[in-house]
Each structure stands twice: as structure tokens, then as C-alpha cells.
């Protein structure tokens, strides 16, 4: 598997809303290197990429389970917990959940993460 780095940004909900409106109005054009995935805080990022969840990603990447049931057996985590965690990761572009007949196969999309944040929010200006 090739290494894929996911660039994530940290931005307040208010600034994210301003940014989105500015983009929609054509007042701000995101640069090519800007993150495509945004978290509201470092804490929310830390929850999604906790040590336990990083270990889960590693298991999926290395063992390539074909279903959540198989992943449950491998990790000892309940399917409900796995499903919630993986759906959240899917929303952030960290994993893909591929439906195959009656099962869902988790696939790791991002193996490395680059976090960007700062106080400059030029798009948030009127």
C-alpha cells in the first residue's frame, strides 16, 4: 500500500462557516495545498485519532479484514463501536467503507497525517 498523507486543518466552527460562505461567494479561493478536511479543535482531532483508533487503523491496514465481523474478532471491539468509529473516520476521509453483498469492508485511505492551524484567517475577513 502506498503511503497517503491526509492534510487536516483546525478551525473554529465560526471561522469554518465564514470560510465556506466566502468560497461560495467567490471572495476566497482555497490554495492548492490547503487542507480539505477540517476539525473544530485539537481535542476533536485527538478523539478521532486516539491511540486506540490508530491501533485500529494499523490492524485494518496490516490484516485487511473483509468485514466488520472479522475486525470485531481481531480487535475485540464490538461491532457497534467499530461501526461508529469507522463511520466517523469515513466522514473525515481516513477510511473507506466498501459494501460487499451483506458485509462492509473497511479500507485505510490515510496512513499519515499533517496538521495545520494558525491565527491567520484571511478568508474570515469581510
CA atoms within a 13 Å half-sphere pointing along the CA-CB vector of 71: 30
Phi-psi category of 31—alpha, beta or left, where left has phi over 0 and alpha has psi -120 to 50? beta
Number of domains in the chain: 1
Single pTM value for the model? 0.83
Using one digit for the tens of pLDDT, what is the confidence trace for 19-68?
999 999 999 998 888 998 999 999 999 999 999 999 999 999 999 999 99
Q: How many CB atoms lie within 10 A of CB 111?
A: 15
CATH of the domain at 45: 1.10.10.10
The terminus-to-terminus CA distance of the chain in angstroms comes to 44
Cβ neighbour number for residue 109 with a 10 Å cutoff: 15
Give the range of the structural domain holding residue 101, as residue numbers without chain letter: 5-124
Characterize the bridge pairing of strands 103-108 and 95-100.
antiparallel
Amino acid at each position: 500500500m502506498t503511503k497517503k498523507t491526509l492534510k487536516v486543518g483546525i478551525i473554529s466552527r465560526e471561522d469554518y462557516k465564514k470560510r465556506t460562505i466566502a468560497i461560495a461567494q467567490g471572495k476566497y479561493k482555497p490554495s492548492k495545498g490547503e487542507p480539505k478536511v477540517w476539525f473544530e479543535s485539537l481535542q476533536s482531532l485527538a478523539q478521532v485519532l486516539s491511540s486506540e483508533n490508530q491501533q485500529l487503523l494499523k490492524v485494518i491496514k496490516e490484516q485487511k479484514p473483509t468485514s466488520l465481523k472479522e475486525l470485531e474478532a481481531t480487535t475485540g471491539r464490538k461491532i457497534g463501536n467499530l461501526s461508529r468509529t469507522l463511520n466517523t473516520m469515513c466522514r473525515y476521509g481516513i477510511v473507506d467503507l466498501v459494501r460487499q453483498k451483506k458485509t462492509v469492508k473497511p479500507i485505510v485511505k490515510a496512513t499519515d497525517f499533517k496538521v495545520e492551524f494558525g491565527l491567520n484567517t484571511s478568508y474570515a475577513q469581510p
